[in-house]
Amino acid sequence: MGPAVADWITAAFTVVLALVTAVLAIATARYVTQTRCLVDETKKSREEARASRLQSVRPRLALSLLYRGPTMAFAQVKNVGQGPALDVDIELAFEPVEGGSLSCEVRRWRFPLIAPGEDHWFAPSHGEGGGVLDVHGLAAAFDRLTLTGTTRDMLGEVHQVDERIEDLPGYRDLNRRALHIWQQEEPARTLTEKVGDPITKELRELAQTIDRSTERLVPPSENGHDS
């Protein structure tokens, strides 16, 4: 074998080796890229699964206005989240209109558990005249409602509560111009269960107490005639 042939074989081998090296480099780069994409997809799927899990147990306390007929207005705190609200520690503030006779009233309230969909009602201050405020009285006395505090989900994560309803007079006027009708599901039954039944029970017990007291104070007549 002459030197020219040997040089040709060496050159061919070098070319083949370079091609093989290039192919291996391309394959390695492609493998690394695919592996990185797979890792990113796995990480993304894990984060989405975690976010979905957190969302499924996350509570959210919302502040709203609740009207029962034309004569009663309440502040409503309702858990509109998917998970229960644990260790609820909140402050509900009724902020009066400027120049009004009422002062700002901040009420702290704690509760161990508010289930999803569960709500609680809070009556506004009655003012000097007493009684329960209606929608017009509420808007005339108070300018805004705020709800602040904390609650915890089932995984132990603490969530901040910061809700507010601004400009109650404007809110009332806007709904009045829109001819909005305040209608709740089965309002009469719900109102009777939450308000009417306890009052009726207390009045009945009071009447029974008065009757017993009257019987003790007034002696029975003799032979059907007063003595």
* Higher per-residue confidence, 15 vs 59: 59
**% of the chain beyond a pLDDT of 90:** 24
DSSP-derived letter for residue 166 is -
Report how far residue 73's alpha carbon sits from residue 134's, in angstroms, rounded to the nearest whole number.
5
Q: What is the pLDDT of residue 111?
A: 95
Q: What is the pLDDT of residue 178?
A: 77
* Higher per-residue confidence, 181 vs 75: 75
Residues forming beta bridges with residue 67, ordered by sequence position: 73
Find out whether 56 and 116 touch, Cβ atoms under 8 Å: no
* Higher per-residue confidence, 220 vs 124: 124
When computed from its CA atoms, the radius of gyration of the chain, rounded to whole angstroms, is 37
Q: What is the pLDDT of residue 226?
A: 47
pLDDT, tens digit, 9 for 90 and up, residues 10-44: 777 787 888 888 888 888 888 888 888 888 887 88
Find out whether 133 and 141 touch, Cβ atoms under 8 Å: yes
Tell me the pLDDT of the chain averaged across its residues.
78
Angstrom distances, CA of residue 133 to CA of 74, 137, 203: 8, 5, 22
Please enumerate in sequence order all residues whose Cβ is within 8 A of that of 169, keeping only pairs 6 or more positions apart, or say none. 97, 139, 140, 143
pLDDT, tens digit, 9 for 90 and up, residues 133-185: 777 778 888 888 999 999 999 989 999 999 999 888 887 787 777 776 655 55
Burial annotation 128-158 (CB, 10 A radius, 16+ → b, else e):
eeeeebbbebbbbbbbbbbbbbebbbeeeee
Q: What is the pLDDT of residue 17?
A: 81
Name the residue among 130, 124, 129, 126 with its Cα closest to residue 107: 124
User: What pTM did the predictor assign?
Assistant: 0.58
Identify the top-confidence range among 72-81, 107-116, 212-221: 107-116
List % helix, strand, coil for the chain (3-state, nearest 5). Answer: 45, 30, 25
Q: What is the pLDDT of residue 92?
A: 94
pLDDT, tens digit, 9 for 90 and up, residues 97-110: 887 777 788 899 99
